[in-house]
Amino acid sequence: MIRKKLETVPSSLTQIKLIQEDLDAKIKPQLWDPKTMLSNLSIMEEKVHQLQELVQLIVSKSSINQSNEFLIQQQQLVTADLTSIIIQLISTAGSLLPNVKHPHFSPNPNPNPNTSDDNNSSDGNTHTTHKNKVSKIEDHSNETDHMDVHEEHDDDVDEGENLPPGSYEILQLEKDEILAPHTHFCVICGKGFKRDANLRMHMRGHGDEYKTAAALAKPHKDQGSEVKLIKRYSCPYIGCKRNKDHKKFQPLKTILCVKNHYKRTHCDKSYTCSRCNTKKFSVIADLKTHEKHCGRDRWICSCGTTFSRKDKLFGHIALFQGHTPAIPIEESKGGGTIGGHDHDVHDHNHNHDQDQDHGDNYNNNIQGSKEVGFFDFNFNSNGSGVDPNICFSPLNMESNTNKFQEFPRSLFEDSDNFSFLLSESCNYLWKNGGESSYKDL
Amino acid sequence: MKKQKCIREDAETKIKPFDFLSEEIVCSILDYLKSNPFDLKSFSLVSKSFYSIESCHRKTLKPFPRTSNDHRHDQLKKLLKRYPFLTRLDLSLCPRITDGCLSYITNSCGKTLKSIDLSRSKFFTHVGLSYLVSNCFNLVDIDLSNAIHLNDTAAAAVATCRSLERLCLTRCKSLTDIGIGCIAVGCSNLRVLSLKWCLGVSDLGVALIGVKCKQIRSLDLSHLLITEKCLPSLLKLQYLEDLTLEGCCGINDESLVSLKQGWTSLKTLNMSYCENVTHVGVSSLTSTATCLQTLNLSYGPIITLPFSESLQKFSQLQSIRLDGCQVTCSGLKGIGNWCVSLKEISLSKCLGVTDDGLSSIVMKHTDLRKLDITCCRKITQVSIAHVTKSCGSLVSLKMESCTLVPSEAFFLIGQNCHFLEELDLTDNDVDDEGLKFISKCSHLSVLKLGICLNISDDGLIYIGNGCQKLRELDLYRSIEITDTGISVVAHGCPSLEMMNVSYCENITDSSLISLSNCSNLNTLECRGCPRITSLGLRAIAIRCKQIIKLDIKKCFNVNDSGMIPLAQFSHNLRQINLSYSSVTDVGLLYLASLGCLQSMTVLHMEGLTPVGLAATLLGCGGLMKVKLQSSFRTLLPRLVIDHLESRGCVFHWRDKFFQAELDPKCWKLQAEDVE
């Protein structure tokens, strides 16, 4: 049974485990200095004693009537002391951290370094002869730049890292593995977990033998391995710059980077923002980040693309010929006298919502951008530069549509630039499209 | 019956001589007449054919409102109908252009219109502008200065005018980067752009102009809150010749030093009032802006020797302005050592200009055309001797308040500088003998002799006889002058346009009557001339129809009867100061019929009542600025004030007490003290 379960584990995973074991064998835990540890411990001991005395003092005096504030003061004092002790404890423990890096490895006996070397060279996954220079910040970041904000988007980027080729191991996970939701599987029932700790907790249910302290403890390994070799990851997508066969290969730092990179770059964007119905993401964290800012995109280009920052809008306009900044709706319509009209626009959008089932990407986007404009109205109502002198007249609307009609000339005159466009921007067709869809209604 | 026919034939033969002229000849005659609007008017009154030729020939029109309450713009409509081929329309005298008016203009001018000036109106919006640019699609020049109310939508409307080459947006304070961005993208042919005082525009908008408007020749960014961030993209403008960065406090030395690439095309650079730019920043420009011809560093860095030596690297420099800078003697000597020969130097109000420094400059730059040493109080005859000796081709010399220069020095000016056209001797020691020599400068067109206490009629007679091209004469507080001198000048210099005889207390009506001989007179200031009466004013009003600015403050004897001819004849009058005069409600009401009147100062007029004032103010439809005693603030009906303000009029409330004598801070008292 166990064997069977083991077989269900993706082969590449086992492969990678093998490699890592080999690696671990080579890596010696970073040497921690017992002397410093000792001195740290004694300092902490001293502090604990001091605190003890203080608390004793408080206890002895507590019989006497004391005001509430005084008690609170004492409490704060004690808390502060405790906090400093805890911090010291953590920092002391931190010096041991390198030893705890690969928790899901069973504590293996020290393998022979020589054999591991042999293993490496025979293993097709490692390339020790790179000609690449891993220095530049990678281009993919630009792409994500366009998609507004990514808090995690640093993951993909090896900021200024300049590792000489060959100084690090290259690992490559397969597609299935990258996309697998879980990385830790129960060998008995096959249930998957994201974290090893959860797996261990789960294992307790499979019998008493898993309940021992040894089994529950974080697996320690790496003892005895001497050299710490840096690990870097390669994307399995052939032709990708993050793929090890690429001429200008730039490795990814961690498994998380691999996952995010692969999803962002080579997967469909399946998460759609529920607010604007426009933006799509493949990493759920990106969606969440976007949703925080969605609707705040005050800066709109005539092509419909919205920006949360003015400088981004101007950068965009500088890049593309014929794109102009769009005047926010509330200004072009001149003040708040036209609330009813604005409502109309919104109603149109509503209809679009219903039409959307046909998968008309176009409408979808135009509608999205309009909606942003509508949001805008709300955001700006408290004041920036709305000219109260301008009254609404039918002409206003006309000039507005004029502006949109003005756009049918070829939007992307420099096709060179266009090729670089993010996949999303092709959805952002110009508002002219919106115009026609209006007429359809 | 036959007799009548004969008479008609006679009449026809009389007209004949003009009919012989071909249309081309008539048109070329018209071209010669262009300078004077009254000549053109007389021309068109000759005959119907002349009238129609003039109508078709006229390309530019600067209409002004004839009556003050022409709300439907009937006059303008008539004019536009009469002149169908206008290419330039200057509406700077029409402060009340509305959207409807603009749409009428666009329909009647259509595609022939190339240039329009809307710089004084506040009543049109983006709607009118979008009419304008969609119908007049050949427009190349739009002036929207002072349109504080225009927003980004208006800018977007302007941006649809693809052919635009010149755009002036001075003081359009409501514009932001978005509007400028629209213009930058839409009007890619722009050559001249002024964004002075557009405080809503930041680095982003300016940088976008650098990216999109490749044709820009001249760019004015004065007083914008821009920093070094926009400079790299401005560097990409390969045709940029004229850059104005006046008062850009965000630009500092580091931003200039960091510029790697240079403005090789730049010819004129104005960095005056850039308080954060010192000699370090400017020196760093020397290696990059190699073609620079004109440099303005007014109120900027200290001019020291190393700095002036580094400026020498501008090998094509012709003109430098260092107004209000602190200069050292060695710094000036450094300028004197430059290899280039400067044509213009301005050291106005510079601290530290000495004879030594100035002499070393003028001895080297002998080709100097213009020299401004206003308020360089340390210089003496030595400097003037060097200036006159070595700079024989001097055209303009301004030396106001060079008080150490003795009267003998002015002989030298008259003897050596025969090409002088502009001479400012305000507050100098010049006397009649000096004027005798100065009158040898027969090209003189601007002469300022204010506060020259030593000159009298004798000297002025020399000027009147010698300088026949004089257009501007300032005799402010030159108290010895009387009617005799004025009459000689008035008859000797018929092309006088500006005249100032303020506080020359001996002036009487006969001076004004003789001055009325100068039909081109447009500015007359005769403050504090108590002997002037309405009679003299009448002569001016009737004969000097081009009068634009009239100052009769403290002419106590001018009364209502002087206002009647003004109201009747001076249709060009834009600015009038009536303070302390004897004019009452009645006279003021007469003025209300002047459609052009924009500015009025009426302080301390005893005959003025709130009712009369309110009626006048309501009557003057074009008023933009009124100076009033603050007591009227409560006396005038609130509604009237509100109404006027909504029409675009600005009130200046003054709270000065009535002063019987002249200004207490007056120079005169000080002068008397010294004596």
Least confident segment among A343-352, B529-538, B646-655: A343-352
- Per-residue pLDDT, averaged over B332-346, amounts to 90
CB atoms within 10 A of CB A50: 12
CB contacts, 8 Å: B127 with chain A:
393, 395-396, 399
Describe chain A by its helix, strand, coil percentages, rounded to 5.
55, 5, 40
Least confident segment among B73-82, B382-391, B432-441: B73-82
pLDDT (0 to 100) of residue A398: 38
- Full-model pTM: 0.65
For chain B, what is the mean pLDDT?
89
- Cα–Cα distance measured from residue A123 to residue A119, given in angstroms and rounded to the nearest whole number: 6
Structure tokens at A418: 């266009």
Least confident segment among A398-412, B51-65, B167-181, B652-666: A398-412
Which residues lie below 8 Å from residue B73, measured CB to CB, with a gap of 6+?
B101, B104
- Cα–Cα distance measured from residue A297 to residue A148, given in angstroms and rounded to the nearest whole number: 10
Q: Is the pLDDT reported for residue B145 higher than 60?
A: yes
Strand ranges inside A168-324, DSSP E: 168-172, 184-185, 192-193, 230-234, 271-272, 280-281, 299-300, 306-307
CB contacts, 8 Å: A399 with chain B:
126-127, 130, 153, 157
Q: Which of B106, B126, B234 to mutate to test the interface with A (most CBs of A within 10 A)?
A: B126
Structure tokens at B65: 């409102």
Nearest to B644 by CA among B661, B624, B667: B624
Answer whether B177 sits within 8 Å of A403, measured CB to CB. no
Nearest to A244 by CA among A231, A258, A253, A233: A233
pLDDT (0 to 100) of residue B15: 55
Residue pair A404/A341 in contact by the 8 Å Cβ criterion: no
Structure tokens at B592: 């209300």
- Cα–Cα distance measured from residue A66 to residue A64, given in angstroms and rounded to the nearest whole number: 6
Q: DSSP characters for A285-318?
A: HHHHHHHHHTT---EEBTTS-EESSHHHHHHHHH
Q: Does B249 touch chain A (CB under 8 A)?
A: no
- Cα–Cα distance measured from residue A29 to residue A24, given in angstroms and rounded to the nearest whole number: 9
Summarised one tens digit per residue, pLDDT across range A310-367 is 888 999 999 998 898 988 765 554 433 333 333 333 334 343 433 333 433 333 333 3
- Cα–Cα distance measured from residue A56 to residue A49, given in angstroms and rounded to the nearest whole number: 10
pLDDT (0 to 100) of residue A210: 77
CB contacts, 8 Å: B159 with chain A:
324
Q: What are phi and psi of B446, to 5 degrees?
A: -125, 120
Nearest to A181 by CA among A195, A198, A169: A195
Q: Is the pLDDT reported for residue B641 higher than 70?
A: yes
Answer whether A396 sits within 8 Å of B127, measured CB to CB. yes
DSSP symbol at A247: T
pLDDT (0 to 100) of residue A295: 67
- Cα–Cα distance measured from residue B129 to residue B126, given in angstroms and rounded to the nearest whole number: 5
Nearest Cα of chain B lies from the Cα of A228 at a distance, in angstroms, of 44
Q: Interface of chain A against chain B, CB under 8 Å?
A: 310-311, 314, 317-318, 322-328, 331-332, 334, 385, 387, 389-390, 393, 395-396, 399, 402-403, 406
pLDDT (0 to 100) of residue B142: 95
Residue pair B494/B517 in contact by the 8 Å Cβ criterion: yes
Summarised one tens digit per residue, pLDDT across range B242-270 is 999 999 999 988 888 888 777 888 999 99
- Cα–Cα distance measured from residue B147 to residue B172, given in angstroms and rounded to the nearest whole number: 5
pLDDT band at B23 (very low <50, low <70, confident <90, very high): confident
pLDDT (0 to 100) of residue A24: 46
Nearest Cα of chain A lies from the Cα of B449 at a distance, in angstroms, of 49
Q: Is B214 exposed, middle or buried (0-12, 13-18, 19+ CB in 10 A)?
A: middle
A325 bridge partner residues: A301
Q: Which of A300, A314, A402 to mutate to test the interface with B (most CBs of B within 10 A)?
A: A314
Nearest Cα of chain B lies from the Cα of A360 at a distance, in angstroms, of 30
- Cα–Cα distance measured from residue B481 to residue B477, given in angstroms and rounded to the nearest whole number: 9
Read off the amino acid at residue B374. Answer: T
- Per-residue pLDDT, averaged over B458-471, amounts to 94
Q: Does B174 touch chain A (CB under 8 A)?
A: yes
Which residue in chain A is spatially nearest to B156 when comparing CA positions? A327
| B649-654 long-range contacts, CB within 8 A, separation 24+ | B649/B617, B649/B623, B649/B624, B649/B625, B650/B624, B650/B625, B650/B626, B651/B626, B652/B625, B652/B626, B652/B627, B652/B628, B653/B628, B653/B629, B654/B603, B654/B627, B654/B628, B654/B629, B654/B630
Which residue in chain B is spatially nearest to A302 when comparing CA positions? B182
CB contacts, 8 Å: B158 with chain A:
none
Nearest by CB: B208 against A314, A402, A406? A314
Least confident segment among B7-21, B262-276, B622-636: B7-21
- Low-confidence stretches of chain A (pLDDT beneath 50): 1-30, 100-160, 224, 333-441
CB atoms within 10 A of CB A66: 13
Answer whether A324 sits within 8 Å of B182, measured CB to CB. yes
pLDDT (0 to 100) of residue A101: 44
**C-alpha A24 chain-centroid distance:** 28
pLDDT (0 to 100) of residue B35: 77
Nearest by CB: A331 against B125, B130, B151? B151
Q: Hunting for tokens 């597609």 — which residue is that?
A: A175
pLDDT (0 to 100) of residue A134: 37
- Cα–Cα distance measured from residue B145 to residue B119, given in angstroms and rounded to the nearest whole number: 4
Q: Hunting for tokens 């809008």 — which residue is that?
A: A313
Answer whether B207 sits within 8 Å of A314, measured CB to CB. yes
Q: Which of B130, B150, B178, B214 to mutate to test the interface with A (most CBs of A within 10 A)?
A: B178
CB contacts, 8 Å: B186 with chain A:
324
Give Cα separations from A43 to A40, A80, A88, A89 (angstroms).
5, 16, 9, 10
pLDDT (0 to 100) of residue A264: 87
pLDDT (0 to 100) of residue A239: 86
- Cα–Cα distance measured from residue A210 to residue A216, given in angstroms and rounded to the nearest whole number: 7
CB contacts, 8 Å: A322 with chain B:
185
Summarised one tens digit per residue, pLDDT across range B607-618 is 899 999 999 999
- Per-residue pLDDT, averaged over B101-127, amounts to 90
Answer whether B126 sits within 8 Å of A390, measured CB to CB. yes
CB contacts, 8 Å: A393 with chain B:
127
Nearest by CB: B185 against A317, A395, A399? A317
pLDDT (0 to 100) of residue A439: 37
Nearest Cα of chain A lies from the Cα of B130 at a distance, in angstroms, of 7
Nearest by CB: B182 against A318, A325, A387? A325
Answer whether B176 sits within 8 Å of A385, measured CB to CB. yes
Which residue in chain B is spatially nearest to A312 when comparing CA positions? B204
Q: Which of A302, A399, A403 to mutate to test the interface with B (most CBs of B within 10 A)?
A: A399
Nearest to A157 by CA among A169, A167, A144: A144
pLDDT (0 to 100) of residue A307: 84
Answer whether A403 sits within 8 Å of B212, measured CB to CB. no
Q: Is A182 left (phi over 0), alpha (psi -120 to 50) or beta?
A: beta
- Cα–Cα distance measured from residue A208 to residue A191, given in angstroms and rounded to the nearest whole number: 19
Structure tokens at A178: 């990258």
Q: Is the pLDDT reported for residue B330 higher than 80?
A: yes
- Cα–Cα distance measured from residue A344 to residue A361, given in angstroms and rounded to the nearest whole number: 22
CB contacts, 8 Å: B204 with chain A:
310-311, 314
Which residue in chain B is spatially nearest to A319 when comparing CA positions? B211
CB contacts, 8 Å: A385 with chain B:
151-152, 174, 176, 200
Nearest Cα of chain A lies from the Cα of B635 at a distance, in angstroms, of 29
Residue pair A230/A163 in contact by the 8 Å Cβ criterion: yes
Q: Is A196 left (phi over 0), alpha (psi -120 to 50) or beta?
A: alpha
Answer whether B127 sits within 8 Å of A393, measured CB to CB. yes
- Cα–Cα distance measured from residue B479 to residue B476, given in angstroms and rounded to the nearest whole number: 8
Q: Does B227 touch chain A (CB under 8 A)?
A: no
pLDDT (0 to 100) of residue A187: 79
Which residues lie below 8 Å from residue B383, measured CB to CB, with a gap of 6+?
B355, B358, B359, B362, B373, B405
pLDDT (0 to 100) of residue B558: 94
Which residue in chain A is spatially nearest to B124 when comparing CA positions? A390
- Per-residue pLDDT, averaged over B394-408, amounts to 93
Q: Is the dihedral angle over the CA atoms B350, B352, B356, B361 positive or is it negative?
A: negative
Nearest to B367 by CA among B350, B391, B384: B391
| Cα atoms found within 13 Å of the Cα of residue B55, Cβ hemisphere only | 15
Nearest by CB: B181 against A314, A334, A389? A314
pLDDT (0 to 100) of residue B278: 87
Which residue in chain A is spatially nearest to B161 when comparing CA positions? A406
